[in-house]
Amino acid sequence: MPGVDIEISEVGPRDGLQSISPIMPTAAKMAWISALAAAGIPEIEVGSFVPASVLPQLADTAELVSHAKSISGLSVAVLVPNLRGAENALAVRPNKMTVPLSVSESHCLKNLKRTHEQLLAEVRGIRAAINGLPNKDRPKLEGSLSTAFGCTLEGAVPQSKVMEMAEKLLAAGCDEVGLSDTTGFASPTQVGQYTREIHRLLGKDKLTGIHLHNTRGQGLANVMAALDAGLTTIDSSMGGIGGCPFAPGASGNIVTEDLVFLLESMGLSTGVNFEAMFTARQVLAEALPNVELYGFTPEAGLPKGFSAATLQ
Amino acid sequence: MPGVDIEISEVGPRDGLQSISPIMPTAAKMAWISALAAAGIPEIEVGSFVPASVLPQLADTAELVSHAKSISGLSVAVLVPNLRGAENALAVRPNKMTVPLSVSESHCLKNLKRTHEQLLAEVRGIRAAINGLPNKDRPKLEGSLSTAFGCTLEGAVPQSKVMEMAEKLLAAGCDEVGLSDTTGFASPTQVGQYTREIHRLLGKDKLTGIHLHNTRGQGLANVMAALDAGLTTIDSSMGGIGGCPFAPGASGNIVTEDLVFLLESMGLSTGVNFEAMFTARQVLAEALPNVELYGFTPEAGLPKGFSAATLQ
């Protein structure tokens, strides 16, 4: 996005809403997405193309893509678990599709019901489907390296395996890979090392984004390592909804509001307007009155005399 | 401390307990301090020498110093707001005394009832009192640069003023200065800049520690900047009690448990044993059943296959 140092990729409508049981009405989701975009959030993952029987909370993803695509300048992202999901997604023309591959094969089998080879075959199918579209309609395809920093089933995941899967995802047709701390295991040391190694092996343009969880409170510390290693797109969730929340009072995903404050306080522009962002939070809070929203900055407010990098 | 990369300075018994209304019984404090030391925490700020009429929660500080001094290898720290407090402290021989000076003079007048010049005169008096003791009994004297990163009254605090006060505290007799984000305003950029500038102007040995708050959720991100700039002592509070808590579910101080996890996951040894640290948390929780304890790591547990830098 021009004029922005770091891009926030808001995953709340997908990663957040899939983790809570109340189903947010489509009109409310649209209002929230519009409010997020109005705040200057450049990219929103609006949903996931999974069967409604699996995630009824996200059954309206196609409608949301169409709505979000009507918002000028917004990058509209979706998650697709397989070729069938991708085909449904392509019908409504998102700007970006993310396919997750768990680097831990046990996790891949358990969550995505596929071996690595089966999942890579899906990716090749998705690439072919994308290439069947006119150039202007082709979304960016990202392969997300889930459980890259460790797995609740397997424990430590070797760095070499992360590199191998990154290479295979690109070979199978992904434009980019993304690192994902699905389990909240990541340390800043790992984030820095893995990012630099992928950049060295595969090129800096092949990895620009990261998805971090805050399960053990390390989310923004890991962001520091990601910034230091040159990543420029950070996933986060408004109110910290979703992710892997364990602790009472603890978000699973890193909180968009606190992330924006971190970046802006460091002089890194996000394009986000604080007041409009807090308004979007209000829209979310009103739509989900029984869901706890996290985030310190919305409660504490901006420091007296605070000067943001983005013109407010 | 030999064999340790980063020293945790636990401020819970002082900064934590002064911020809550229940008065923890002296015996319970002693048990907690013993449990913290048994977990490998190398330094504990056990209290503050302020009049009991001001902070009845800390009226037993002298007793706690004597107890903590009986624990082999533990550095026993106290806060002293003025010469009278320091004289009372010196009678029980702590290993370290911290005198806070708010870089924002409005804050200094409001919280410490003294102008900068008056406070520096107190520091000169404290230095003279220390020098009246035999060498082996002299505690280290630290001048804490409160509101270094911004003030709730004045707003932005100029970096030049922080440098000026650091120099004056050292000239008045402090062995070291410490940076303190009293208000939760600090950004990693500031932490890095101020640390490097003090190191350049006054010497690396004149600033080794930092006191960070988590008011806006930036505590561990700021720790990353502190580590990067070469600081080696980090204040934190078990369960995150104290500091400036604003948000529901939000700690004011950075949480010892999450800080230790951060450092150990980065391969930086703290000397802390996780299990014993969680036991110390339990001791605290039982002593203060109505006080909310924060921290993500104690709830989520250590990652499967986690390998700490400190031998467990």
pLDDT at position B282? 98
Contact B188 A262 (CB under 8 A): yes
Q: Which chain B residues contact residue A255 at CB under 8 A? A: 217
Residues of A labelled catalytic: 244
Share of chain B above pLDDT 70, in %: 97
Q: Which chain B residues contact residue A292 at CB under 8 A? A: 249
Q: Which chain B residues contact residue A304 at CB under 8 A? A: 150-155
**Using CA atoms, how far apart are residues B93 and B29, in angstroms rounded to an integer?**
19
The residue of chain B nearest to residue A192, with distances taken between CA atoms, is B266
**CA angle (B28 as vertex; B302, B270 as ends), nearest 5:** 35
Answer yes or no: are the C-beta atoms of A114 and A108 closer than 8 Å: yes
Q: Average pLDDT in the A271-287 region?
A: 98
Least confident of A23-27, A172-176, B249-253: B249-253
Count Cβ atoms below 10 Å from residue A32 Cβ, excluding itself: 27
Answer yes or no: are the C-beta atoms of A10 and A64 closer than 8 Å: no
Locus of tokens 């035999």: B134
Q: Average pLDDT in the A193-208 region?
A: 98
pLDDT at position A244? 60
**What does A240-308 look like in DSSP terms, one character per residue?**
G-SS---STT--SBPBHHHHHHHHHHTT------HHHHHHHHHHHHHH-TTS----SHHHH-PPTT---
Q: Which chain B residues contact residue A217 at CB under 8 A? A: 220, 255, 258, 261-262, 295-297
Measured between CA atoms, how close is B103 to chain A, in angstroms? 16
Contact A300 B247 (CB under 8 A): yes
Contact A247 B295 (CB under 8 A): yes
pLDDT tens readout for residues B257-300: 999 999 999 999 999 999 999 999 999 999 999 998 999 999 89
Count Cβ atoms below 10 Å from residue A258 Cβ, excluding itself: 28
The residue of chain B nearest to residue A304, with distances taken between CA atoms, is B155
Helix axes B26-38 and B274-287, enclosed angle (nearest 10): 170
Contact B221 A224 (CB under 8 A): yes
Answer yes or no: are the C-beta atoms of B62 and B108 closer than 8 Å: no
User: How many beta-carbon contacts under 8 Å exist across A and B?
Assistant: 150
Query: pLDDT averaged over chain A?
Result: 95
pLDDT at position A70? 98
Contact B221 A217 (CB under 8 A): no
The runs of H, that is alpha helices, within chain A are 26-38, 61-69, 83-90, 105-112, 116-131, 159-171, 188-202, 219-228, 256-265, 274-287, 297-300
Q: Which of B151, B217, B295 is the closest to A297 by Cβ?
A: B217
Give Cβ neighbours of residue B163 (< 8 Å, ≥ 6 apart).
B197, B198, B201
Q: Which chain A residues contact residue B295 at CB under 8 A? A: 217, 247
Question: Facing residues of B145 across strands?
Answer: B101, B179
Answer yes or no: are the C-beta atoms of A249 and A214 closer than 8 Å: no
**CA angle (B262 as vertex; A250, B225 as ends), nearest 5:** 105
Q: Average pLDDT in the A169-188 region?
A: 96
Work out the pLDDT band at A112, boundaries 50, 70, 90: confident
Contact B304 A150 (CB under 8 A): yes
The residue of chain A nearest to residue B308, with distances taken between CA atoms, is A187
Locus of tokens 């102007």: B201
Is residue B174 part of the annotated active site? The answer reads: no
Instruction: Encode B1-37: b = buried (16+ Cβ within 10 Å), e = exposed.
Output: beebbbbbbbbbbbbbbbbbeeebeeeebbbbbbbbb
Answer yes or no: are the C-beta atoms of B100 and B81 closer than 8 Å: yes
The residue of chain B nearest to residue A268, with distances taken between CA atoms, is B189
Contact A221 B221 (CB under 8 A): yes
Question: Pick from B20, B202, B136, B225: which is nearest to A221 by CA?
Answer: B225
Coil, helix or strand at residue A219? helix
Q: Average pLDDT in the A169-195 region?
A: 97
Q: How far is CA B163 from CA A65, A174, B121, B194, B232, in A?
A: 53, 51, 18, 8, 20
Domains and CATH numbers, chain A: 7-300 (3.20.20.70)
**What does chain B look like in DSSP terms, one character per residue?**
-TT-SSEEEE-IIIIIGGGSSSPPPHHHHHHHHHHHHHTT--EEEEEE-S-TTT-GGGTTHHHHHHHHHTSTT-EEEEE-SSHHHHHHHHTT--SEEEEEEESSHHHHHHHHS--HHHHHHHHHHHHHHHHTS-GGGPPEEEEEEETTT-BTTTBS--HHHHHHHHHHHHHTT-SEEEEE-TTS---HHHHHHHHHHHHHHH-GGGEEEEE-B-TTS-HHHHHHHHHHTT--EEEEBGGG-SS---STT--SBPBHHHHHHHHHHTT------HHHHHHHHHHHHHH-TTS----SHHHH-PPTT---SS--
Contact A183 B303 (CB under 8 A): yes
Sign of CA dihedral A61, A62, A64, A65: positive
Q: Which of A258, A300, A306 is the closest to B246 by Cβ?
A: A300
Measured between CA atoms, how close is B75 to chain A, in angstroms? 28
Q: Give the pair of three-digit tokens for residue B118.
A: 């008056």
Contact B248 A299 (CB under 8 A): yes
pLDDT tens readout for residues B182-206: 989 999 999 999 999 999 999 999 9
DSSP-derived letter for residue A23 is: P
What stretches in chain B show pLDDT beneath 50?
A: 247-248
Q: Which of B185, B225, B298 is the closest to A303 by Cβ?
A: B185
Element of type H or E holding A1: none
Contact A217 B296 (CB under 8 A): yes
What is the amino acid identity at position A286?
E
pLDDT at A258 over 70: yes
The residue of chain B nearest to residue A294, with distances taken between CA atoms, is B249
How many CA atoms, within 13 angstroms, populate the side-chain half-sphere of residue A191? 33
Give Cβ neighbours of residue B58 (< 8 Å, ≥ 6 apart).
B14, B17, B18, B47, B48, B50, B52
Contact A218 B221 (CB under 8 A): no
The residue of chain B nearest to residue A222, with distances taken between CA atoms, is B221
Share of chain A above pLDDT 70, in %: 97
Q: Give the pair of three-digit tokens for residue A157.
A: 């995941």
Work out the pLDDT band at A167, boundaries 50, 70, 90: very high
pLDDT at A245 over 60: no
Q: Which chain A residues contact residue B292 at CB under 8 A? A: 249
Work out the pLDDT band at A3, boundaries 50, 70, 90: confident
Q: Which chain A residues contact residue B301 at CB under 8 A? A: 246
Q: Which chain A residues contact residue B227 at CB under 8 A? A: none
pLDDT at position B247? 47
pLDDT at position B312? 94
